[in-house]
Amino acid sequence: MASSLKVLIVDDDPDIVTFLEDFLSAKGYNILTAYSGEQGLNYVYTEDPDLILLDVVMPGMDGYAVCRQIRLNPLTTLLPVVMMTGIHPEERIKGIDVGADDFLTKPINQDEMFARVRSLLRIKELHDVIQTQATQLAKWNKELKTKLDHETRLADVTCMLGDIGHEVKNMLMPVLSGTELLQTELDEFFQSLPSPVLEKAKNSQRICEDIIDMVTRSAQRIQDQVKEIADCVKGLTSPLQLSPCDLSKVVETVYKTLQVLAVKKGITLQGENLESLPHIQADEGRLFKAFYNLVNNAIAEMPQGGSVTIQGFEDSSNSCIQVAVVDNGRGMPVEIRDSLFSTRVVSRKAGGTGLGTKIVKDVIDAHGGTITVESEVGIGTTFHLLLPYSPPDSLQPKH
Ligand SMILES: Nc1ncnc2c1ncn2[C@@H]1O[C@H](COP(=O)(O)OP(=O)(O)OP(=O)(O)O)[C@@H](O)[C@H]1O
Ligand SMILES: [Mg+2]
C-alpha cells in the first residue's frame, strides 16, 4: 500500500532531506525531494504527491507561503501538509493560520514522524476514495437526470398524442355517419327521378358515389391509424386552460356535434336545469371532451329510441356543481363497470379503444372533481360528476 503513496520532502537543508528520504523510502514510500519553496510548489502541481513534509524557514519562498498557496488552489486544498518547525509556539500558530495539518518539531523524532505520516496518509486515502465516489455519484446523477428529463418529455408527448388521436377518432364519427346519411339521401333522390332524367344524371350519380366512397375510405383509414396510436397510450397531461365556463353551452355544443348520430338512432338528447348552474372555472375544451365521450358512449349503447339527459344541480355549501349524465340504454355488466376510468377498461365497441372513460376521469381529476357510475343491465346508466367552482390551487397551472 505504502509503495504507491508519494511523499514530497521540502527543506533547504540537504542533510535533513537525505535523513527523511532514507527513512521513508525504506518504509516503502515513493519520495520526491525539493530544496526550496518554489521547487516544492512546482512538484505539488506536477507530481501530485499524497503528503508534504514542509520546512518552515527557507530562503526565498518559506514554508508558510508554500502552504498558503497549496490551500488556495481547489485541487490541492485538502492535500496533507506536515510542517517542520522550531520549538517556538508562534511558529505553530502561524502554521495553523496558513492551513498546516500537523507539525513536527526539529530535531525530528523518526517514530513520531512516521506515526504522523501514516495517520495523515490514511486520512488522505479515505478522502480520495470518498472523492472518487462523489465524482462517480455526480456523474450518475447527471446521467439519471438527463434520462429522466428525456423520459418525462417523451411521456408527455406520448400522452398528448394518445389524447389527440382519440379526439380525432371521435370527430370522425360524425363524418362517417354523415356520409352514410348522405349516401342514403342521394340514393333516394336519384331513384325518385323519372327514367329519362335519371339517364342524364347517371354521370353525376357516379361522381357523387365516388366522392362519398373516397371520403368514407379516407376517414376509415385515419380512424385505423389513430386507433393504433390510442392503443399505445392512455393518459392526459398538458396544463388546464382555465376560464369562466358555462356548462349549458358546453353540453349544447356536444349535443349539436352528436345530433346526426342521435337522430339516426331516434335518440333524444336533453338537458335539465343546466342554465341555472353558476359558471365554473374550468377548461372548456377539456369539459367538451369529457361530455362528448359520455354522450357518445351512451348513444352507442342505446337501442333505437331512448334518451340521454344531462341534469345539473348546484351544491353551494360544498362550492361545487353536481352533474348527472343519465341514459336508459342497455347498461353494462359489473366487470365493465368496475374497470371503467382505468387503463384496464374492456371496450365492447367495434373500433373502440377503451380510452374514452379514462380520458373523462382524467379531465374531472384535473379539475379536482370526482366521477362515479351506476349501471344496471337492461335499465340504463348514470354517471355522477362533481365539479368544484374552481380547481384547488394545487391543480391550477403555475405561471
Ligand atoms: N353509457 C353507457 N352505457 C353502457 N355501456 C357503457 C356506457 N359508457 C361506457 N360503456 C361501456 O364501457 C366501455 C368502455 O368505454 P370507453 O369510453 O372507455 O371506451 P369505448 O367507448 O369502448 O372506446 P372509445 O372511447 O375509444 O370509443 C364501452 O365499450 C361500453 O361497453
Ligand atoms: Mg368511448
CA distances in angstroms from 7 to 124, 151, 156, 309, listed in the order given: 12, 49, 56, 88
Task: Decide whether any atom of ligand 1 lies within 6 Å of the 352 Cβ.
Answer: yes
Q: State if pTM tops 0.85.
A: no
Task: Decide whether any atom of ligand 1 lies within 6 Å of the 301 Cβ.
Answer: yes
As a whole number, the mean pLDDT across the chain is 88
- By most ligand atoms within 8 Å of CB, the mutation choice from 163, 307, 338, 357 for ligand 1 is 357
Ligand 2 centroid to Cα of residue 341, in Å, is 11
**Ligand of minimum distance to the alpha carbon of 303:** 1
And the C-alpha cell for 330?
342497455
State which of 193, 212, 232 marks the end of a domain: 232
Does a structural domain hold residue 123? no
| CATH number of the domain bearing residue 91 | 3.40.50.2300
State which of 211, 232, 253 marks the end of a domain: 232
- 318: which DSSP letter? G
Residues 64 and 19 in one domain: yes
Residues 280 and 382 in one domain: yes
Contact 217, 258 (CB under 8 A): no
Q: What would the pLDDT profile of 283-319 be if each residue is shown by its tens digit?
A: 998 899 899 999 999 999 998 899 999 999 999 999 9
Residues 277 and 330 in one domain: yes
Enclosing domain of residue 222 = 157-232
Does a structural domain hold residue 48? yes
Residues 279 and 222 in one domain: no
**Ligand of minimum distance to the alpha carbon of 309:** 1
Task: Report pLDDT for 238.
Answer: 56
Instruction: Report the distance separating Cα 251 and Cα 140, nearest Å.
Output: 51
Task: Decide whether any atom of ligand 1 lies within 6 Å of the 133 Cβ.
Answer: no
Ligand 2 centroid to Cα of residue 324, in Å, is 17
**Ligand of minimum distance to the alpha carbon of 337:** 1
Residues 186 and 286 in one domain: no
Classify residue 172 as left (phi > 0), alpha (psi -120 to 50) or beta: alpha
Residues 270 and 346 in one domain: yes
Does a structural domain hold residue 277? yes
Residue 270, beta-bridge partner list: 309
Residues 57 and 31 in one domain: yes
Q: What would the pLDDT profile of 30-59 be if each residue is shown by its tens digit?
A: 999 999 999 999 999 999 999 999 999 999
Residue 385, beta-bridge partner list: 323, 371
Q: Closest ligand 1 atom, CA of 353?
A: 26
- 237: which DSSP letter? -
Contact 38, 60 (CB under 8 A): yes
Residues 299 and 370 in one domain: yes
**Ligand of minimum distance to the alpha carbon of 295:** 1
Cβ-proximal residues to 315 (8 Å cutoff; 6+ apart), any chain: 321, 322, 386
Q: How many domains does the chain have?
A: 3
Residue with cell 532531506: 17
Q: What would the pLDDT profile of 148-173 be if each residue is shown by its tens digit?
A: 877 777 777 777 777 787 778 788 88
Ligand 1 centroid to Cα of residue 245, in Å, is 26
Q: Under DSSP, is residue 382 helix (H, G, I), strand (E, B) or coil? A: strand
Task: Decide whether any atom of ligand 1 lies within 6 Å of the 327 Cβ.
Answer: yes
Cβ-proximal residues to 292 (8 Å cutoff; 6+ apart), any chain: 170, 254, 257, 258
Residues 103 and 6 in one domain: yes
Instruction: Report the distance separating Cα 323 and Cα 281, nearest Å.
Output: 15
Task: Decide whether any atom of ligand 1 lies within 6 Å of the 293 Cβ.
Answer: yes
Residue with the smallest CA separation from ligand 1 atom 4 is 331
Residue with the smallest CA separation from ligand 1 atom 9 is 297
State which of 232, 258, 289 marks the end of a domain: 232
Q: Which carries the bigger pLDDT value, residue 140 or residue 260? A: 140
Residue 381, beta-bridge partner list: 327, 375
Task: Report pLDDT for 150.
Answer: 74
Residues 200 and 256 in one domain: no
The pLDDT-based confidence of 322 (bands split at 50, 70, 90) is: very high
Ligand 2 centroid to Cα of residue 39, in Å, is 81
